[in-house]
Chain A
Amino acid sequence: MSDTTFARLDVLKTYKLYVGGKFPRSESGRVYEVTDSKGEWLANAPLGTRKDARDAVVAARAAVKGWAGTTAYNRGQVLYRVAEMLQGRREQFAAEVALSEGVGPKKAAALVDAAIDRWVWYAGWTDKVAQIAGGANPVAGPYFNLSTPEPTGVVGIVAPQAGYGHSLLGLVSVIAPAIATGNTVVVAAAADAPLPALSLGEVLATSDVPGGVVNILSGRTADIAPTLASHQDVNAVDLTGAIAADGPGAAQALEAAAADTLKRVVRPELDPFAQDWTNAPGTDRLLSFLETKTVWHPMGI
């Protein structure tokens, strides 16, 4: 034992992207400074690029078959497992949320609790959504006719960048409903508050969520979001966090890019800054990334 006394130096975390179940640095090798709400340096986050976004789409596409093909019961257990893992790291996330959003420790802890509960809410939805969104249709003829909701495929998500609770609770509120129904996602994390998102990747990696189902990128929204909106192999985009007034990352530009391949689009709120992510989520997002498939078969002997 040393007899010299000094304050122990913390081990800082190298924040990395979360793609295909792995934690790569950006292919660019570049990082950007993340600061707290007062402008103090917190960490260097990877500066995800267009290439990183394309790689993430490849990972997400590869994961669709397995994830959409697993049973709804199983997906529910996996989502519940995420809540368990998040609960275990509650203090770490509360600290990150407090720094990211400039809220006090009590409020930050409540926001993390709400995020955990939101995973639980969606975990319970996986094996019920087909019963509220599908069903038998009484057609006027001797046919069996059934409508079932199916996942759209790969969803590009511009994570919330504003509103109360956006950095973690908002993020969970957009990821969980998309994957609950069997989609896989590529998330452009809030550019100014990416740390809870990058840490969430670590939670997902230890939660039985198959690699590639959720992919999280930090970086400039104006780089990553247009890549997702225009990508031929992305089926839908959630533009909740597209709050730029203009430029390639603005909601209008992204929606126009998404129109080229007729992606399903979720538009941002009229005033994203007024959004309170602690509000009850309802089923809107859960039903946004579904396709209704209707199967007919004659009845007879």
Chain B
Amino acid sequence: MAKKKNIEEPAAKPAGGLFTYAPAPESPAAAGDIASSYGHFIGGEFVDSSGSEALKTVNPATEQVLAEFAQGTDEDVDRAVAAARKAFADWSTLPGSERAKYLFRIARIIQERGRELAVLESIDNGKPIRETRDFDIPTVAAWFFYYAGWADKLDYAGFGANPRPLGVAGQVIPWNFPLMMLAWKIAPALATGNTVVLKPAETTPLTALRFAEICRQAGLPKGVVNIVTGDGRTGAALTAHPDVNKVAFTGSTPVGRAIAKQLAGSRKKLSLELGGKAANIVFDDAPIDQAVEGIVNGIFFNQGHVCCAGSRLLVQESVQDELLDALKRRMSTLRVGDPLDKNTDIGAINSAAQLARITELTDAGEAEGADRWSPECELPGTGFWFKPTIFTGVSQAHRIAQEEIFGPVLSVLTFRTPDEAVQKANNTPFGLSAGIWTEKGSRILWTANRLKAGVVWANTFNKFDPTSPFGGYKESGYGREGGRHGLEAYLDV
């Protein structure tokens, strides 16, 4: 049967040599109208900035400007915090059951407008439509749905009777999961009776501004949610604002450190979700095919722009060759390209700056003597792209084994004994997540027990759920988001 050759071979060798795919493009028009310029959302209204500086957000797959938006000034931040403060009195005293209904409404509208949000997110961020459609936006809705239910049950959350909100929360979020990070921040804050001022990242402001419209559709009282756009200067003005009671930040460890310093001596409560350099540990008895899927999901999901990405593969020496062969085979089938094509696995790198960072670190990997490999794949001529890449022969001292690359780049290290695996896995100032691949249950528990990481995925990777606490050990930050634990960051306890 294998020798039957009556079908003509395709002219061009398809990706991975298995199947050809016809393009399956999602319509950019489904993103809805994108205005040419945006102001802030303060006190329930879209308002102009007090300043004249505007930033541009581009589609990283095409480098086309999508819209201009305001660089938030100190005065803008001040107005937004004042609006949030004004709204706090009524919002915090509203019966929890009523707050819950607002959040349920928001969850439902997000579901209704899911396609629009998925396309908009993909265009603004560069991530594949398959991920925004199947992961980001459903997770956003789930987060609001979960925390909606807590709003009238806080007495039973284990923080004593009638736990009090903190006040105005200043929230600064990253560009890798723009709307999802918004949901992780706003849902628990509102459920517990706080009001918020949120600053989206300067490369991905559009879904946060669209979320403002959703707040209006939901009839959310004015000032409960305020969105101020801008870069790090706006973020610093927000976290420093004297009338902010709570600061929540997700982003890089250096910025988190600076915020922690800025808040020293204040009474502001702080939660930080920072960088990572997760070890994905593959033992010799691991199911190789499943492990390969997990490794690929761990580092190539969302172009590797994931703080908990499995960016260090620790493979037991005896199965190294077998595993790496299978991994390379699998990587050869990854489709890199148009984020709006439903077949795309790896989309565009979010920005030129991030591409430069990835390039710098991978150059350092080569310079320091690690071996680089990428599958053959054509990259589009415009936009920001990076081939899925692995480095073998990596030592623990290499920069690519220590620093967060935040791109589709995997560093492969090896180990001989379980003790060595744990030691290497923990040999980093980070401690956000880790992966374990083995068929032996007791070994999973032994290893999980020793890993200094806030989330441990065993025989799976990059799974998230609103009921499941997420957050790091050591310099990956403090506080947890998700689950009952996630309430604590927004309560005066």
* Chain A positions near chain B (C-beta within 8 angstroms): 132, 135, 137-141, 143, 145, 147, 152, 235, 250-253, 255-256, 258-262, 264, 267, 270, 282, 284, 291-298
Question: Which A residue sits closest to B160, measured CB to CB?
Answer: A282
Are A295's CB and B448's CB within 8 A?
A: yes
Which chain A residues border B483 with CB–CB below 8 Å?
137, 147
Main secondary structure of the interface of A (DSSP, over half): mixed
4 additional contacts (CB under 8 A) given A137-B467, A293-B473, A295-B456: A137-B465, A139-B463, A292-B471, A293-B455
Known: A256-B261, A256-B264, A262-B256. A292 touches B480 (CB 8 A): yes
Known: A264-B478, A267-B267. A259 touches B473 (CB 8 A): no
- Determine which residue in B158, B265, B272, B471 has the highest number of CB atoms from chain A within 10 A of its CB, and name it: B265
Complex-state Cα separation, A236 to B193, whole angstroms = 29
Can you list 16 A-B pairs, Cβ within 8 angstroms, ordered by A?
A132-B158, A135-B484, A137-B483, A139-B463, A255-B263, A258-B260, A260-B257, A260-B261, A270-B267, A284-B493, A292-B469, A293-B473, A294-B455, A297-B444, A297-B459, A298-B459
- Interface check B142, CB cutoff 8 A: yes
Which chain A residues border B455 with CB–CB below 8 Å?
293-296
Which chain A residues border B453 with CB–CB below 8 Å?
293
Known: A235-B474, A296-B456. A138 touches B256 (CB 8 A): no
- Interface check B485, CB cutoff 8 A: yes
Complex-state Cα separation, A74 to B135, whole angstroms = 44
Question: Which A residue sits closest to B458, measured CB to CB?
Answer: A297
- Smallest beta-carbon distance B100→chain A, Å: 18
Are B460's CB and A259's CB within 8 A?
A: no
Are B274's CB and A294's CB within 8 A?
A: no
Considering the complex of A and B, which 5 residue pairs feature the smallest CB-CB distances, nearest first?
A252-B265, A259-B260, A255-B264, A139-B465, A256-B264
Are B458's CB and A255's CB within 8 A?
A: no
Contacting residues of chain B (443-482) with chain A, CB-CB under 8 angstroms: 444, 448, 451, 453-460, 463, 465, 467-471, 473-475, 477-478, 480
Which chain A residues border B256 with CB–CB below 8 Å?
262
Type the 1/0 row for B247-288, where 1 means its CB is closer than 8 Å to any CB of A: 000000100110011011101000010100000000000000
The count of A-to-B residue pairs whose CB atoms sit within 8 angstroms is 103
Are B493's CB and A298's CB within 8 A?
A: no
- Smallest beta-carbon distance A111→chain B, Å: 26
Q: Among A251, A292, A297, which residue has its beta carbon within 8 angstroms of that of B460? A: A297
Are A294's CB and B264's CB within 8 A?
A: no
Complex-state Cα separation, A253 to B265, whole angstroms = 8
Q: Among A256, A264, A267, A296, which residue has its beta carbon within 8 angstroms of that of B468? A: A296
Give the number of chain B interface residues (Cβ < 8 Å): 43
Which chain B residues border A260 with CB–CB below 8 Å?
257, 261
Complex-state Cα separation, A284 to B455, whole angstroms = 23
Are A262's CB and B456's CB within 8 A?
A: no
Which chain B residues border A262 with CB–CB below 8 Å?
253, 256-257, 260, 272, 274, 474-475, 477-478
Are B468's CB and A137's CB within 8 A?
A: yes
- Smallest beta-carbon distance A298→chain B, Å: 5
Complex-state Cα separation, A215 to B65, whole angstroms = 60
Which chain A residues border B451 with CB–CB below 8 Å?
293
Which chain B residues border A256 with CB–CB below 8 Å?
261, 264-265
Which chain A residues border B263 with CB–CB below 8 Å?
255
Which chain B residues border A264 with CB–CB below 8 Å?
478
Are B470's CB and A294's CB within 8 A?
A: yes
Complex-state Cα separation, A294 to B453, whole angstroms = 9
Known: A140-B142, A262-B477. A294 touches B469 (CB 8 A): yes
Contacting residues of chain B (181-233) with chain A, CB-CB under 8 angstroms: none
- Smallest beta-carbon distance B251→chain A, Å: 13
- Smallest beta-carbon distance B441→chain A, Å: 9
Known: A145-B468, A259-B260, A262-B477. A293 touches B460 (CB 8 A): no
Q: Among A250, A292, A296, which residue has its beta carbon within 8 angstroms of that of B458? A: A296
- Smallest beta-carbon distance A245→chain B, Å: 11
Are B458's CB and A259's CB within 8 A?
A: no
- Smallest beta-carbon distance B486→chain A, Å: 10
Complex-state Cα separation, A284 to B272, whole angstroms = 19
Which chain A residues border B265 with CB–CB below 8 Å?
250-252, 255-256
Complex-state Cα separation, A264 to B493, whole angstroms = 15
Question: Which B residue sits closest to A250, measured CB to CB?
Answer: B265
